[in-house]
Structure 1
Amino acid sequence: MAQPPTSETFSIRGRATQEEIDAFFAPPTKQVGPLFIVSYLAAQLFFFVALMGPAIVSIQNKAMLMFPDDTAAQANAVSQIAGLGALGAVFANVIFGQVSDRTMWRWGRRRPWLVIGILGMTVGLVIMGLTNTVPAVAVGWLIAQIGANAALAPFVAVLSDQVPEFQRARISSMISIAQNLAILIATYLSNGLKDNLALLYIAPAIPAILVMTWFAFVLPDKQLTIKPPRLDLVGLLKTFWVNPLKYPDYGLAWAGRFLITLCSFSFTTYRLMYLVNRVGLTRDEGLSAQATSVLIYTIALMAASFVGGQLSDRLHRRKAFVFAASALFGIGVLMLAHTTTVSGFYMVEAVMGLAYGIYISVDLALVVDVLPNPDNAGKDLGVFNIANALPQSLAPYMAPFFLGIGSPEKMNYSALCYFAGICAIIGGVLAIFIKKVK
């Protein structure tokens, strides 16, 4: 267990008493109310509609429009754009998690960065919408991801700051449902605005700014009046590290999330291209089929997530849900290696949605339960988010290797699916060895 802050490391206008320090960093015990929950979910929904449209669909669509007759160039464009943005997310999430932990502004620790981040994300999306070269779109996505993660790091830390343990799995499942509903909405927007990409990139950011700002005002974010210790270069570098040998449960949870995220983005980064190049659809047909498949996936996910979160809190069990869900998700991706029809694709999406719904309903609650130091939740969750962001950066660079196995003229989606599915199954097995959580 991490040691709590003491009066030797924190000061309030000079020096704090241990009682003042304990009171500020005490874990939440009061149940959060409907206004907080609705605001939190709405902010998640609109934030991810703006962010995930480019991440899941629009980058692929833009690459196909830039290189209409060259599938290799399309894949390379997606790799460069998505990879650079996700690499920025790796660093931004950890840094801003640490920054928000230490922010002493009178508006609170988390609140200012929610607004600053969403505005930065919008600037990047505007650049993406108004440019049509790979370097320019990549720079826009980098800026958008830095801004998004400046908001996302404190947004996720709110779960540790405000939500008591007995509500975490349920609210975690609701947050995940909102995120995946956002992906569904973004997919249909991408289909409806497929010929107006500038509007597709820019328009969803406007309601995201409004709703995130509303949540920032609703959030009961306390001002940090306890001065943290000075952050030097060594301390900044430590921001990117939590020792997995010292905190093995955290390390196992991190590795499991890394592997299932690598699995997911190895496929979703190329989902539209899969439908066009493997199933044999046109771009318009592929966009339509993708929208339907995401609808099926989301319906299955929402149902499974609701049930999974309720059962996890009621049974006080996390690991079994994470293991079963990860393994089933991996099996679903392995099934894609042998899928060449639209109906088969829809069936596999239903299996994957069911699995991922169970996974997301429990995993974030498990992670919060094994944090090394809840008083540094923003920093530790920022490090944990590397397990989300780094695979998003690696997947676009690794996938071309598997896609290129065999004939260079024909993308080898089977090899990619086998690699991705095995990653998810291994990630599920790792959850079994976590000791702190049942």
Structure 2
Amino acid sequence: MSTPDQQELTAPAGVGSRSVGRAWFTWFTVVWVAVWMSNQTPVQLLLPLQVNKHSEQWVHGVVVSGAVLGVGGLISLVAGPVAGMLSDRTPTRIGRRRPWAIGGSVVAAAALVVLSRVTDNVAIGLTWTVYSVAFAVAATAFTALIADQLDAQRGAASGVVGGAQGAGLVLGVALVVVLGLSLGVAYLVLAVFLLVAGVAGALALPDPPVAPVRRDVPRGEVRGSRGRDFRTVVLSRAIVSLGNGAPTSLLLFFLLHGIEMPHHDAESILLLTIVVFTVSVIVSSAVGGRISDATGNRRGLVMTGSTLLAVGALLLLLVPTPTAVLVSGLVNGTGYGLFLTVGLAMATDLLPAEADNGRDIAFVNVATNIGAVGGPLLGAGLVAAVGDFRLMYLVAAVLTLGGGLLLLAVRRPERARVV
């Protein structure tokens, strides 16, 4: 029979009544807008332009861009779980998540400053790798706060993470396109915003003391079926993210070379698509997160999101036009908001053991970032194999739909009721 301490350690992560107020959500939103703005603006616009500028052929530019994003991301996949595990066991005076959040923000900002100066593709790749590792460290620390401090509001907090990704992307691209910023200045603006918001947010958000780690409790007793369900959710998230990441990271190249639009027109359509995508992500994230909090039915919403992502990919496969790109932005934004937000809440509900929240949350982030890592490599390989974008969109549709269907294997899809 379990002791009270064992019951507290092994209790489902969704049981309890921990909640936070408006100030917490405000700081959490500012932090995530800055984090995503520093990440998505280079992925969607700055890095492709920077690499394309030094490539003689467009296919070569696609491959180099995919390699830069992919190699950096692969290393960050290891950094996130390691940082999460260490933060679980970092009993400093200023907290256990805060040192990692601050350190990651500072190093990532410094890497963006370096990116504003380098021109060689190898130097760009190495610097982006440093940034990717620091981004993974900071993102893991900030995401762990959801599991550390919330119960009934996990859907709403996950909605902030999802909505901020879209908002950060559109704000970053708008700054570059509307203000006509050069690549160097754009990177510097992103660095300053990330440094200020990341450090200030890490200091303002509360950081609970390190949880006691009990090693006398058998691992099977801690995890059980909850661990199996958690791994299924992480695998599903990785597959869908991979399928979505390929077309997303190569959208600018698709506009330039798939539809053969002039450079200025392609940037304008990209900005409009990002605006449509962002509004859809913000709305579906906020609405989907709160509905899932109220009903506890996370799985249906996540599967709906992955299905919409498949529809968006098929649309561009069948109708490769600027108008279809805008419509796809609406469909993909709605689907991605549901997938990203409600999927994160579902994963936090199924965290196997509270003492390992940081490490396990990092695996959820790894699954999400598979799209940013493997997506460009997968997309670039498929484009290079056939010389156009059709195969890439077909594979994207299969992966996003199939990954969502995998959630049918989860035995406990509903979150525990808060009492």
TM-score when scaled to structure 2? 0.90
Q: 1:335 to 1:246 in 2, by over 3 A?
A: same
Residue of structure 2 aligned with 1:115, choices 102, 105, 124: 102
1:125 and 2:105 correspond: no
Whole-angstrom CA distance in 2 between matches of 1:129 and 1:4: 55
Counterpart position of 2:28: 40
Q: 1:73 and 2:49 equivalent?
A: no
Q: Which residue of 2 aligns with 1:103?
A: 90
> Which has the larger displacement, 87-96 or 244-253?
244-253
Aligned to 2:384: 404
Q: Out of 129, 135, 142, which is 2:122 matched to?
A: 135
Alignment deviations for residues 385-416 of structure 1 (CA, whole Å, 9 cap, x no partner) = 2212334222222223311334xxxx321100
Query: Which one of the candidate residues 387, 391, 404 is aligned to 1:415?
Result: 391
Contact 1:177–1:301 (8 Å) recurs in 2: yes
> Which residue, 190, 199, 202 being the options, matches 2:185?
199
SS in 2 for 1:203: helix
| Partner-residue secondary structure (3-state), 2:51 | helix
Alignment of 1:77-92 (within 5 A): 77-92=64-79
Q: Which of 318, 323, 329 is the matching residue for 2:309?
A: 329
- CA–CA distance in 2 between the matches of 1:46 and 1:100? 21
> What do residues 140-178 of structure 1 show as CA deviations (whole Å, max 9, x unaligned)?
1011111111111111100000112x1111221122111
1:67-104 deviation per Cα after TM superposition (whole angstroms, max 9, x unaligned): 2x411220121022111111121011111011111101
Structure 2 distance, partners of 1:80, 1:334, is 25
Question: Aligned pair 1:252/2:232, yes or no?
Answer: yes
Query: Partners in 1 of 2:53 and 2:238 — Cα distance?
Result: 31
C-alpha contact (below 8 Å) 2:259/2:320 kept by paired residues: yes
1:148 aligned residue (98, 113, 135): 135
1:195 positional shift = 5.9
Counterpart residue number, 1:235 = none
Change (3 A) 1:228 1:294: same
Question: Partners of 2:303 and 2:382 in 1: how far apart?
Answer: 26
1:30-429 superposed matches below 5 A: 30-67=18-55, 69-164=56-151, 166-192=152-178, 196-224=182-210, 226=212, 247-406=227-386, 411-429=387-405
Q: Partners of 2:343 and 2:127 in 1: how far apart?
A: 31
Q: d(CA) in 1 for partners of 2:232 and 2:70? A: 25
- Residues 9-42 of structure 1 show CA distances to partners (whole Å, capped at 9, x for unaligned) of xxxxxxxxx99x899x997623201111100111
Native 8 Å contact 1:126 1:202 kept in 2: yes
Q: Is the 8 A contact 1:126 1:140 kept in 2?
A: no
- Does structure 2 conserve the Cα–Cα contact (< 8 Å) formed by 1:276 and 1:286? yes
Provide the rounded CA distance (Å) in 2 between the counterparts of 1:155 and 1:175: 10
Amino acid paired to 2:277: Y
Asked if structure 1 preserves the Cα contact closer than 8 Å seen for 2:162 and 2:281, the reply is no
In the aligned structure 2, how far is the partner of 1:184 from the partner of 1:378? 29
Identify the residue that residue 433 of structure 1 maps to in structure 2. 409
Give the deviation of 1:384 after TM superposition: 2.4
Residue 371 of structure 1: CA displacement?
A: 1.0
What SS is found at the alignment partner of 1:222?
coil
Higher helix share: 2
SS of the aligned residue for 1:340 comes to coil
Secondary structure of residue in 1 paired with 2:385: coil
Structure 1 Cα separation of the partners of residues 3 and 366 of structure 2 = 24
| Whole-angstrom distance in 1 between the partners of 2:337 and 2:363 | 23
Contact 1:169/1:365 (<8 A) preserved = yes
SS at 1:204 equivalent: helix
Deviation at 1:270, TM superposition (A): 0.7
**Structure 1 Cα separation of the partners of residues 380 and 224 of structure 2:** 31
Which has the larger displacement, 381-390 or 311-320?
A: 381-390
Contact 1:157-1:378 within 8 A present in 2 as well:
yes
Q: Is the 8 A contact 2:10 2:354 kept in 1?
A: no
Residues of 2 paired with 1:415 and 1:313: CA distance?
38
User: Unpaired segments of 5 or more residues in structure 2?
Assistant: 415-419
Q: Is the 8 A contact 2:239 2:399 kept in 1?
A: yes
CA shift for structure 1 position 359: 2.0
1:422 partner amino acid: V
- Compared CA separation, residues 428 and 380, structure 1 to 2 (3 A): same
- Aligned in 2, Cα 1:115/1:403: closer, same or farther, shift over 3 Å? same
- Mapped contact 1:193–1:200 kept (Cα < 8 A): no
CA distance in 2, matches of 1:47, 1:383: 18
Structure 1 unaligned segments of length 5 or more: list them: 7-17, 230-237
Change (3 A) 1:26 1:384: closer
Partner Cα distance (1:311, 1:228) in 2: 35
Residues 1:245 and 1:318: Cα distance change in structure 2 (over 3 Å): closer
C-alpha distance in 2 between matches for 1:93 and 1:225: 20
Give the CA RMSD over aligned residues. Answer: 2.7
3-state SS in 2 of match to 1:30: coil
Report the count of equivalent residues.
407
Structure 2 Cα separation of the partners of residues 198 and 228 of structure 1: 49
Q: How far apart, CA to CA, are the structure 1 residues paired with 2:4 and 2:76?
A: 29
The whole-number CA distance in structure 2 between the counterparts of 1:415 and 1:194 is 34
Quickly say closer, same or farther: Cα 1:266–1:371, change in 2 above 3 A.
same
TM-score for both structures, normalised by structure 1: 0.86
How high is the sequence identity, in percent, across the aligned residues?
A: 22
